[in-house]
Structure 1
Amino acid sequence: MGNKKTRTGDVISNKMDKTAIVSVTRQFKHRLYGKYIKRFKKYIAHDPENKAKIGSKVTIKEIRPLSKTKKWLITEIIENKNSELNNN
């Protein structure tokens, strides 16, 4: 089999069971004007142990389709954030 694609991004939602939504940012230079542009894409990823928290930086890998939209797996949690709110 060929190489599977990998992406690194931030978890923006983990409200579903064993599923997280990961936002991946890419930055490129406009070919005419030279300005750097940011683009975002959301990936729905499988999180079998529900370890990813909102704000965590994760690595995802392409896998076989698990559902209509879920085709990625969280392979590594690089930086885990606390999603606790501080009440002042």
Structure 2
Amino acid sequence: MPKRILQGVVVSDKQDKTVVVKVERRFTHPLLKKTVRRTKNYHAHDESNKYKTGDEVRIEESKPISKLKTWIVVDTATAS
């Protein structure tokens, strides 16, 4: 089974080797037929502490690293 890759914005880099990434998903509401935005925060592993607040990054699913961290920062997201 392939690992999921998500794209989001770093909202916190205060912890050592950890960043908090806010990921937004959009979907159409089944009854109202309007586009709805939902956000979720993920704790991701950042080994070199190089990503700062405001950076747009891609994170990849991995085996559990700690109680909250099951994602690893892959690289910065490219504007495409």
State the structure with more CA Rg.
1
Alignment correspondent of 1:17: 16
1:7-65 CA-to-partner distances (Å, cap 9, x unmatched) read 00000000001100000000111111111110001100000011111011000000110
TM-score, structure 1 as length reference = 0.85
Distance 1:53 1:35 in 2: 34
Distance in 2 of aligned mates of 1:26 and 1:65? 23
Structure 1 spans left out of the alignment, 5+ residues: 80-88
Structure 2: unaligned runs, 5 residues or longer: none
Match for 1:14: what amino acid? D
Asked if residue 31 in structure 1 is aligned to residue 30 in structure 2, the reply is yes
* Percent identical: 42
Paired AA for residue 19 in structure 2 = A
Q: Which residue of 2 aligns with 1:75?
A: 74
Tell me the CA shift for residue 78 of structure 1: 2.3
Mapped partners of 1:33, 1:4: distance in 2: 32
- Please report how far the alpha carbon of residue 76 of structure 1 lies from its aligned counterpart in structure 2 after TM superposition: 0.6
Tell me if structure 1 keeps the 8 A contact 2:13–2:19: yes
1:45 aligned residue: 44
